[in-house]
Amino acid sequence: MLAARQKWITLDEAKGWKVLVQRPDSIQLSRWAGRLGENLILEAVVGWAGFQEDHLVPGGTSDELEWDATLWRVWIADNPHFWDAIIDPMMEDLRARNQIKEVTKGNSQPSSHGSGTTKKAKSPRT
């Protein structure tokens, strides 16, 4: 069932970087209200492909790295230019499935960063 909620998003085609995202369930959406963008970046990414040690660590090897959630959190926090590439397709998927209503009941539509009506994420902490 979880695999049905997963899809790959390309971050950098030249480097072959892709992340595996998992669409949140209704309980997660409820918990993430107000910080949706941040949680989509930090919690909904559940895997990667094409990431090599030397891409992330100066002087590292060209070995492809196994998924590491802690390393992901550190790396993505330092690379905000990739946030929209993750948030935007996930928000589109949530809207298409009408799941976004569960986050916004009685409130304004969330943006990809959790407040207002803007689609673009400026910071996952706002």
61-106 pLDDT, tens digit per residue, is 999 999 999 999 999 999 999 999 999 999 998 888 876 654 444 4
Burial bucket for residue 72 (CB in 10 Å: 0-12, 13-18, 19+): buried
How many domains are there within the chain?
1
Residue 56 domain boundaries: 3-104
In eight-state DSSP terms, residue 61 is -
Determine phi and psi for 101, rounding to 5 degrees.
Answer: -60, -35
Residue 119 located in a structural domain: no
Residue 41 located in a structural domain: yes
pLDDT at 55: 87
pLDDT at 26: 87
Residue 124 located in a structural domain: no
Note the pTM of the prediction, 2 decimals.
Answer: 0.74
Residue 109 located in a structural domain: no
Residue 125 located in a structural domain: no
Residue 97 located in a structural domain: yes
Q: In what order do the strands lie in the sheet with 17-22?
A: 6-12, 17-22, 45-49
